[in-house]
Structure 1
Amino acid sequence: MKLLLTSAGIKNDSIRNALVDLLGKSIAESNALCIPTAGYGHPSGSPGGAWRFITGQSSTPMCELGWKSLGVLELTALPSIGEERWVPWVREADVLLVNGGDALYLCHWMRQSRLVDLLPELPEKVWVGLSAGSMVMAPRIGEDFVGWKPPTGGDETLGLVDFAMFPHLDHPSLPENSLADAERWAAGLGVPAYAIDDQTAIKVIDGEVEVISEGHWKRFTP
């Protein structure tokens, strides 16, 4: 699977160009499924937030980019309908657009639904993460980002990349997301990490990592 791990969606032309490069065709020719699940696990999540994400009326551009088709894949529903129904939906899509919210809640439902088991079979599929939708790919998220607590405890996520992410660096509405906060967070992780602002994304293809940015970011080495 090809990854575009963003802090706040497709916020600038550089990130958009990276997305088109990963798709190998235009957005207007590409079929998308959006995954709103993570939003329901976050304390500030709401039905209205999920609606704004799906309808492209949030401040984090994902669903409103002009896709050929757009559908909704709600992970909490998948265990009850059977893989023979939903797996073809995923296989037929070009891209998965994954909302922010709570990364551990998203991780839990990726495992419960078995979507995570399908991902290795989809080398050409594109995953576009937004905040928690990006963080879920890391080995862990760090205690600072633990909100919803999984049954197993801990802060471990999927580990499909070997680095962690600190999104929304220096966001004016998030005073706890300063570079000093990110440095303290990274010091306790034991894995490489990136702090990225909302104008930055990380592209990963076959383990090769490239930072795409019109803003600022920093890499931390354990």
Structure 2
Amino acid sequence: MNAGSADVAELSKLMRRGARALNEQFDEDTHLNEVIPKPWGYEYRAYVDEFFDFWALHIDAPHGTSMHVHARKLTYLICLGGQGVTSGLAKEVPVREGTILRIAPGAFHGTRNIGDEPLELIEVEVPRNKFDLMRLKDDYNRAGTAYEAKSLEEPEHSMQKVAAFPNAHMRRQTPDGKFRFELRTGMDIFCRRRSEDIFYVPLCVSGVVYLDVEVLTGQEGDKRRPQTDKQYLCISKNF
């Protein structure tokens, strides 16, 4: 999903009305490491470092996110389970387990749950900046507002420091226990693909610089090979 002239026009209107794309203060905005309640469900960080930011979204039926834009960061929307639809200003894309959707900087988008079960998503955001957000339309009267300032502490599933990666933090699993997160080398994935694995996301600076992150799947039909010298965040079902 790429930005076009309609996205630029709507972004310009938002800015003229006073909307701002703010900047996250890494050492101060610590509430972002807790669960963020939303009118459509909740979201929380799964992994974060200096460049990458992974957010897990739990969208209850029949709710949906706002129509919003990230003016400066690239987003990959990957689906762990459920059924939904992601809408831009000009088109809609169906979303179900295994879907990978690239959303370019400046492209307005919103996602709605159209199934009966919760829609479980991961947003891979690069470069890291949770406050790079402007809301155009919203079912919950949040149009034009900034990102939420309130959070819920989950001490049993809190973010933990990653010893091998300076300034990196991650969760070991989702609060509901359905999915788990692991750091694995490309060599390990190449030699040991597992049936419970859903996605592998490379944590390499080249993906940030070139705005191109090659998200691999655990599906049998995905014949792409991981780069053996890279580190990946592996997202798996927790059997």
**What TM bracket, shorter-length normalisation?**
under 0.3
- Kindly name which structure, 1 or 2, has the bigger radius of gyration based on alpha carbons: 2
Q: Which structure carries more helix by proportion?
A: 1
Decide which structure has greater strand share.
Answer: 2
Structure 1 length as normaliser, TM-score?
A: 0.27
| Greater relative CO (CA pairs within 8 A, separation 6+) | 1
